[in-house]
Amino acid sequence: MIIVMAPHSTEEEFQAVIERIQLLGYRAHVIRGVERTVIGAVGHEDKSHLPIIEQMKGVEAVIPILKPFKLASAEWKQQRTTVRVGDVVIGGDEIVIIAGPGVVESEAQVLAAAEAVRAAGAKLFRGCVYSYYMSPYTQTEFDPEKLSLLRRVREETGLPVVTEVFSAKDLDAIAQTADMIQIGARNSQNFSLLRLVGRLRKPVFLKRGMSLTIREFIMAAEYILSEGNSEVVLCERGIRTFESETPFSLDLNAVPVIKGQCHLPVFVDPSHGTGRRHLVAAMARAAVAAGADGLMIEVHPHPDQAVLDGAQSLRPEQFADLMPQLRRIAEAVGRKI
């Protein structure tokens, strides 16, 4: 439920409400505004407590949240959330582009990619530090030496870095380097991992699982928010359907649907969403028009030699050609890149 305190309520009245809802078994999440303070009471669904709290001094209104997700709900927070990664603000007027290769392969590869995407206008750099997973017979080991290459990217280009964590045992090491932690589609319902990143005070980039409904996706974000980390960005990256022409179907409906129900920023990944290089630009343009707050695009200096995802990775010159197109569309919808 949402408890709205009256404009002139006292600190003593506020603390009394906090104590009462905690006594009733709720956890309190507070937003202090210029004119009002709002308390989100998260816990069980017993509505019999509403009249008790409504009658307390200093309380203006008590509003039940109907959605199963509470802290992610637009009912709880009507103002859209912005997430800061270094000097980059996600969720504001500017549409933010994250770009880089699927996997960090070598010093030459990662630095060439970083310089190319920075020059074209990307604001964050992406790169995975695992020897990737595709089957139980392929190597999936975490390679801490690749973190040093991501640190070099940040030092030499100024780009904050986003990298994925697969396992809780690697989280501390990755969190020491990454400016933003990515939870990939295959871990989007790894609830123990979601709770762990929720206890970090570091931005989280959460991708939609390929078989998750939108409600399930937002509920995954709720696990992170419930642990105290409000710095969460959602990413639509394609879902499993009956269509066989592409590995996934990019669900651009998800952008306005999520933004209608949830206050968190929403990105689109047209690279994974299509799996085909020649489709990435078209879906990136469509995502900006649909209202996405940003894009994550795979860019590799030599995609034909890529260890992973070469077929969906843009060449640097293709990425550079795409950026002016995205800027024009952003301007048409009242945004900027």
Please write the tens of the pLDDT for every residue from 88-117. 999 999 999 999 999 999 999 999 999 999
Structure confidence at residue 60 as a pLDDT band (50, 70, 90): confident
Please give the CATH superfamily to which domain 83-332 belongs.
Answer: Aldolase class I (3.20.20.70)
Question: Residue 288 is encoded by which pair of tokens?
Answer: 């900006």
Structure confidence at residue 229 as a pLDDT band (50, 70, 90): very high
Residue count of the chain: 337
Flag whether pLDDT at 203 surpasses 80. yes
Angle (CA) 299-300-301 rounded to 5° is 125
Measured distance CA(7)–CA(176) in Å, rounded: 42
Q: What is residue 78's predicted lDDT score, i.e. its pLDDT? A: 80
Q: What is residue 234's predicted lDDT score, i.e. its pLDDT? A: 98
The domain ranges of the chain are 2-63, 83-332
Flag whether pLDDT at 63 surpasses 80. no
Measured distance CA(155)–CA(149) in Å, rounded: 10
Structure confidence at residue 139 as a pLDDT band (50, 70, 90): low
Q: Per mean pLDDT, which range of 56-65, 78-87, 324-333 is the poorest?
A: 56-65
**What mean pLDDT do residues 117-125 have?**
98
Nearest to 238 by CA among 181, 189, 287: 287
Nearest to 313 by CA among 52, 77, 126: 126
Measured distance CA(270)–CA(90) in Å, rounded: 18
Measured distance CA(298)–CA(165) in Å, rounded: 18
> What is the average pLDDT value for the chain, to the nearest integer?
91
Tell me how crowded residue 327 is: count the other CB atoms within 10 A of its CB.
Answer: 16
Flag whether pLDDT at 67 surpasses 80. no
Structure confidence at residue 211 as a pLDDT band (50, 70, 90): very high
DSSP string, 134-166: SSTTS---B-THHHHHHHHHHHHH---EEEE--
Measured distance CA(267)–CA(96) in Å, rounded: 9
Q: Per mean pLDDT, which range of 41-55, 237-251, 264-278 is the poorest?
A: 41-55
Structure confidence at residue 41 as a pLDDT band (50, 70, 90): confident
Measured distance CA(144)–CA(8) in Å, rounded: 53
Q: What is residue 38's predicted lDDT score, i.e. its pLDDT? A: 81
Question: Residue 12 is encoded by which pair of tokens?
Answer: 């003593």
Q: What is residue 90's predicted lDDT score, i.e. its pLDDT? A: 98
Nearest to 134 by CA among 336, 316, 307: 307
Question: Residue 269 is encoded by which pair of tokens?
Answer: 């990944």
Q: What is residue 61's predicted lDDT score, i.e. its pLDDT? A: 83
Q: b/e string for 290-318 if b means 16 or more Cβ within 10 A?
A: bbbbbbbbbbbbbbeebbbbbbbbbbbeb
Q: Per mean pLDDT, which range of 73-87, 130-144, 195-209 is the poorest?
A: 130-144
Nearby residues of 79 by Cβ (< 8 Å), 6 or more positions away:
263
Q: What is residue 136's predicted lDDT score, i.e. its pLDDT? A: 67
Q: What is residue 231's predicted lDDT score, i.e. its pLDDT? A: 95
**What mean pLDDT do residues 240-260 have?**
95
**Rounded percentage of the chain residues whose pLDDT exceeds 90:** 69
Nearby residues of 188 by Cβ (< 8 Å), 6 or more positions away:
206, 207, 208, 209, 212, 217, 220
Please give the CATH superfamily to which domain 2-63 belongs.
Answer: Phospho-2-dehydro-3-deoxyheptonate aldolase; domain 1 (3.30.70.1140)
**Strand ranges (E), the chain:** 2-5, 27-32, 37-42, 59-63, 83-85, 88-90, 96-100, 124-126, 161-164, 180-183, 204-207, 232-236, 266-268, 294-298
Mapping DSSP to helix (H, G, I), strand (E, B) and coil, where does residue 70 land? coil
Phi, psi of 29 (to 5 degrees): -125, 120
Strand pairing class (294-298; 266-268): parallel
Question: Roughly how many angstroms between the first and final C-alpha of the chain, as a whole number?
Answer: 37
Q: What is residue 308's predicted lDDT score, i.e. its pLDDT? A: 85
| 86 dihedral zone (left: phi>0; alpha: psi -120 to 50; beta) | left
Question: Residue 121 is encoded by which pair of tokens?
Answer: 């206008």
